[in-house]
Every structure is written in structure tokens, then in C-alpha cells.
Amino acid sequence: MGKLIFNIFKVNSSYLRVVAILFLNNLTSIFLASLISSCAVEEYIDIPNTGEQKIVVFSIISPGDSLFVEVNYSTNLNEWTDSQTSRVSDAIVTLHNEEGKSTALTFDQNRSIYFGSQENLPIEAGKIYILKIATQKGETLIATCQVPEASAVWSNLTKTKIVEAGIEFYRINGTWDGLPESPGYTVFIESTDELENGITYSRKYEAKYWEISRVQNYYSFQRLLPSNTLVRADFSLITMDSNLHSFNLATIPYKEFIDLNRADIINSFKGVYPAYTNIEGGVGVFGAYLRDTLSIKF
């Protein structure tokens, strides 16, 4: 029997009261377990704040994308600090490949992240990469990930205009075939809207877990988008490595209550939750993905 933290509920003195879901199966069955109420019960647990500071790392790599690494110090769950007070801005952050080549990332004050390009160290499918971080306090962190060897691709992606409760929507339907060695998938959406005055703005969000379904090795995705100002949307099918997939599962409950991406989640909780980590010497995630993107104009 495994435990999964489900939602922040109440802070009580030095303890944080948390609603927990006890699943009768393991974490990898979260999609099924969340739909079968007979397999889950609610339980309240108390978690003491130890005050122990940990280094929180968040980094995801993919071919063609910029390199970034977020490094922060953790805080107690009942305390809130901004990035100015918790960030680590003077560490030595390097990324290495299997052949021994490496590139150093520099700290960007505006975005509070370590940033770099792939000019000196291209990210390639199937390759293993090592992230190393050394702080001025003598702390050393290391993490490894392997980029997926192949990317799942959209079989089709369609739009259908519908009306629900007098409001017009576009129903988006997409399908793809799973890959034998892939641990899991998600879908990222970037939509562009145009207002009456001609001003455009973009929104980015991730598919909810119930919007993706699976039958054997066949996957389908469905989402409703409001149609009044929508002009374009890009749909990226994300093939995750095992690290990113495990972290994705651990963040599902948070994303259903606070519509944030993974970086927002791990910064909000400063690395204490979610529990999954592959960072030696700290907490967080270093993962990789491949993407296949299709665009729809409206």
C-alpha cells in the first residue's frame, strides 16, 4: 500500500495538515486508481516541519531547446519566500554528455535561472546527460537522465465547433500510437487569442490527466477550447523519460487544484513536495523529453 500527498489543507502550529490518498496499488496506477473510488480512502496525516534546508533543482532538457536549471533552497511548508531570498545564484552549474564534453550555464538575474545554449553541447535523442552543481557552501549535487530514443507522433489532430450551454467551443481530438520503451506522455498547449482591438496574447497550459486516455497501445486526447477570441493553438505531444514521467505522476494532484506547470509547483513547495526526486545531494528533477507539434488555425 502506498501513500500520495493529495492537497494542502491546513497549517496547524509546526505541523501541516495534509489530505492524503491511500492507494491500494502503486503510484504508476494513479490514473486508474483516481477513477475507482472503491480503491481509495481519505486520511489525514501530520507532517512536522524539520527546518532542514535542502537544495531544490528543476531542469528539463530536449533537442533544440535552450538549457535551463533552477536552483533554490527549500523552506518550511508553512512559510512563503520569493525567489530573491531562496535562490542560489552563485553556484557552478555544468552539463555533461557521455563523451566527456561539457558546457557551463550562467545565472540570468532577470529570470533567476541558470541558462545556456546547445551550441557547445547539443542534446541528442537516446543520449545520456549528467547535471553537476557545486555551491559556494561546498554542497555538490549530481543527476543523470537519458533523452528518449524516439518521439511519439500525432496520428491525427482535429477540431470540431460545438455549443454547450449557449457557449461556443472547439472540441480538439488527437490520437497517437505509443512506443514500446516510453514510460508516458503528456500534451502541452500554447494558444493565441486576438481581442477586438487587434491585441494578441498567448496562454500555455498542460493537458489534465483525464484528457488523455489509453486503450492498449492506442492513446487519445480531448480538450475543449473557447472559440470567441481563439486564432491559433500549438499542440505538443511530449514523450517523457522515466524521470520526468515519475515527476509528472507525483504532481498530478497539485495540478488539479492549482493550474500550474511543474516549475511553479516545485518552486511553490521549495522541493519538499512532490516526493519524487532523482537529484543526488538535493531534491527535484532532472529529466528529458522529445516533442511532436501540430498547429491548428481557427
Beta strands in the chain (DSSP E): 2-12, 15-23, 40-48, 55-61, 67-73, 92-97, 102-108, 113-116, 128-134, 140-146, 154-164, 167-177, 184-194, 200-206, 212-215, 218-226, 230-240, 283-297
Inform me whether the pLDDT recorded for 52 exceeds 80: no
Strand partners, 96: 102, 130
Could you give the 3-state DSSP secondary structure of residue 112? coil
Query: How much is the pLDDT for 193?
Result: 92
In tens, the pLDDT along 240-297 reads 999 999 988 877 765 554 444 444 444 444 444 556 889 999 888 999 999 999 999 9
pLDDT of residue 25: 30
143: Cα separation from own chain's centroid: 17
Strands 283-297 and 55-61: parallel
User: What does the pLDDT read at residue 178?
Assistant: 96
Q: What is the pLDDT of residue 81?
A: 54
Residue of 270 and 218 predicted with greater confidence: 218
CA angle 165, 167, 168 (to 5 degrees): 130
Residue 79, exposed/middle/buried by CB under 10 A (0-12, 13-18, 19+)? exposed
Q: What is the pLDDT of residue 76?
A: 57
**Considering the entire predicted model, what is its pTM?**
0.76
- For the chain, the average pLDDT equals 79
Residue 161: partners with Cβ closer than 8 Å, 6 or more residues away: 168, 169, 170, 171, 227
Q: CA-to-CA distance for 167 and 263, rounded, in angstroms?
A: 33
Helices (H), the chain: 30-33, 83-86, 242-257, 262-268
Q: What is the mean pLDDT of residues 218-226?
A: 95
Instruction: Give CA–CA dist 56/121, Å, rounded.
Output: 24
pLDDT in tens, 10-27: 333 232 222 222 222 333
Please give the single-letter amino acid code of residue 117. Answer: S
pLDDT higher than 50, residue 196 = yes
* Per-residue pLDDT tens over the stretch 135-171: 999 999 999 999 999 999 999 999 999 998 888 999 9
**pLDDT > 90 in the chain, percent:** 55
Report the pLDDT value the prediction gives residue 238, as an integer from 0 to 100.
Answer: 97
Q: Answer yes or no: is pLDDT of 206 > 50.
A: yes
- Give per-residue pLDDT as tens, 57-86: 999 999 999 999 999 887 655 555 555 567
Is the bond preceding residue 183 a cis peptide, omega within 30 degrees? no
